[in-house]
Structure 1
Amino acid sequence: MTEAGVLFEVEGPVARITLNRPARRNAIDGAAAAGLAEALARFEADPDLRVAVLCGAGPVFCAGMDLAAFGAGQVEAVLFGPGGFAGLTEARRTKPLIAAVHGAALAGGCELALACDLIVAEEGSRFGLPEVIRGLVAGAGGALRLASVIPPARAREILLTGRMVDTAEAWELGLIARRAEPGAGLAVALELAREIAANAPLAVAETLRLSRAAEAAQLAALWPENARILRAIMGSEDAQEGARAFLERRAPVWQGR
């Protein structure tokens, strides 16, 4: 185990990293962000580990940032620490990382999946970037990455409405690499990881680097502006109202400031 809320297990050349806060729907707080960053660093540093699978304990993959952590002043640790949100979304990586999604990958949880190199999703899973519904922006890579993975018009429709995408639509859009039956997502992701790990590690690393080169060059120029916008939005009255309305289960009253 690494830090609180994150488990690290090794199965041959494959590392399994588990978000382990099921009572909080694996939402990310400061401790979980530090734990995930530590797990990724451990994976990268071990020459015997070639591929990692990121999964979630309990009924969902990840519900995003823990709103209790937001209210407790952990925004800097969760969103702007080393590696970006949860220590992952802006992390520099050289080895393949697969997201094994089940249940829901919402807000920051969806952004964690998008930050991985491949996504395996169980039937019945839901992906969503509902930040605009809460007065926020998908500033942990969601707004930047989604349109580089799926057609831009479809990405904007999803981002600007905040609606959910199910496994079937995610497959049709090309968002996910493999589908799995309910309950089999982790097994399918681990099998995919073993297939990749069986190949020449240097060739895999360089192929991965080349496949991400265009995105990496584009994002390098955009992350500073992304951070500026995210900080401004997080401090807005509408963001505070969105969080309150969500917790109080009522419709928000937007002020546009």
Structure 2
Amino acid sequence: MPLTLAVELIEPGVRLITLQRPQALNALTTELLGELAAELNIAQADPDTRAVVLTGSRKAFAAGADIKEMAERNLVGILDDPRQASWQTITRFSKPLIAAVNGFALGGGCELAMHADIIIAGEDARFGQPEINLGIMPGAGGTQRLLRAVGKSMAMQMVLTGEPIDARQAQRAGLVSEVTQPEFTVERALHIARSIAAKAPLAVRLAKEALLKAMDTDLASGLRFERHAFTVLAGTRDRDEGIAAFQEKRSPTYTGQ
């Protein structure tokens, strides 16, 4: 039973994970990251889980790394840090991951949100990479994902000044897809998760993979992957079910085959 997370099966297909260290604004400790990685492994292995929503509290999604723990650690062994393995597990999670962000998403919290495929932000959300103020820099993908999300100029400003941006700035920059009233952030994220969970699982997985390829490869390679994935899906039972349901004016029942 995780100590720093709450996990709920909202309904078939949708899992909600809530970070629960409110006394520390959900600062990311080794324990929390390890438990999160373990829960994502469970969700990854569960064929009935088709989408995951990740959230924190109304005051903070996650306010960065735990500074007290950081001060006590010997940074010489950083590459052997168990947190690196946890971040790798989070990065490899292949099912749709939606972040519902209220309050602070700073440092590692911003990096964690950027691991999600979709970010829904409350009006009060603040995104930032303030590591420069501690004499360090982002180390969990912040420089790489942020630049891809918001572009060079905004990423440089956020990382080099350490100053956060608000939810509306984040939406205009392309970091988040929607901004809601804070009380509706999780509800909206769950609505999107339910919509995705109702789709054909194989199509969702390959579509997500194709979109991520577009960020990491050249256009020709991305198009080759897209054509291959499209061809694979053309031979699935879910494709036949989708077309039949459309013709018969009913909701499809997808099996992942």
TM-score normalised per structure 2: 0.78
Q: Is the 1:131–1:138 Cα contact (8 Å) retained in structure 2?
A: yes
2: distance between equivalents of 1:69 and 1:63?
A: 14
User: How far apart in 2 are the matches of 1:217 and 1:69?
Assistant: 37
Residue equivalent to 2:57: 57
Q: Does 1:80 align with 2:84?
A: yes
Percent identity (aligned): 37
How far apart are 1:161 and its partner, in Å? Answer: 1.1
CA displacement at 1:106 relative to structure 2: 0.5
CA contact (8 A) 1:59 1:103 kept: yes
Q: How do 1:24-103 residues align onto structure 2 when only pairs under 5 Å count?
A: 24-57=24-57, 59-73=59-73, 77=81, 79-84=83-88, 87-88=89-90, 91-103=91-103
Shift of the 32–55 alpha-carbon distance from structure 1 to 2, 3 Å rule, reads same
State the Cα distance separating 1:217 from its structure 2 match.
5.8
Distance 1:146 1:195 in 2: 27
One-letter code aligned to 1:96: P
Q: For residues 105-184 of structure 1, what are the structure 2 equivalents within 5 Å?
A: 105-184=105-184
Change (3 A) 1:20 1:182: same
Q: What is the Cα deviation at residue 57 of structure 1? A: 3.0
Q: Find the counterpart in structure 1 of residue 246 from structure 2.
A: none
Return the alpha-carbon distance in structure 1 between the equivalents of residues 167 and 94 of structure 2.
Answer: 28
- Alignment-derived partner of residue 17 in structure 1: 17
- The residue aligned with 2:229 is none
Q: For residues 4 and 137 of structure 1, what CA distance do their matches in structure 2 show?
A: 29
Mapped contact 1:22–1:58 kept (Cα < 8 A): no
After superposition, the CA RMSD in angstroms is: 1.8
CA distance in structure 2 between the aligned counterparts of 1:53 and 1:176, rounded to whole angstroms? 15
Please state how far the C-alpha of 1:158 moved relative to its aligned partner.
1.5
Give the distance between the partners of 1:78 and 1:24, measured in 2 at CA: 21
* Counterparts of 1:60 and 1:28, CA distance in 2: 12
Q: 1:58 to 1:157 in 2, by over 3 A?
A: closer
Q: Deviations over 1:176-233 (max 9, x none)?
A: 0111112111011101111111111110000001101144569xxxxxxxxxxxxxxx
Going from structure 1 to structure 2, the CA distance change for 1:149 and 1:115 (only over 3 Å counts) comes to: same
Question: How does the TM-score come out when normalised to structure 1?
Answer: 0.78
Query: How far 1:71 moved relative to its partner?
Result: 2.5
Contact 2:33 2:87 in 1 (8 A): no
Cα distance between partner residues in 2 of 1:196 and 1:61: 23
Structure 1, residues 104-125: CA drift from partner, whole Å, max 9, x if none?
Answer: 1000000000111110000021
User: What is the rounded CA distance, in whole Å, between the counterparts of 2:217 and 2:39 in structure 1?
Assistant: 25
Q: Give the deviation of 1:58 after TM superposition.
A: 5.0
Distance of aligned partners of 1:167 and 1:41 in 2 relative to their CA distance in 1, 3 Å threshold: same
4+ aligned runs moved over 6 Å, structure 1: none
User: Given that residues 110 and 127 in structure 2 are in contact (C-alpha distance below 8 angstroms), is that contact kept between their aligned partners in structure 1?
Assistant: yes
Question: In structure 2, how many angstroms separate the alpha carbons of the residues matched to 1:211 and 1:55?
Answer: 23
CA distance in 1, matches of 2:31, 2:129: 23
Distance 1:172 1:215, change over 3 A: same
CA–CA distance in structure 2, aligned partners of residues 106 and 216 of structure 1 = 25
CA–CA separation in structure 1 for the residues paired with 2:164 and 2:206 = 34
Larger-Rg structure: 2
Extract unaligned runs of 5+ from structure 1.
219-257
Structure number with higher helix proportion: 2
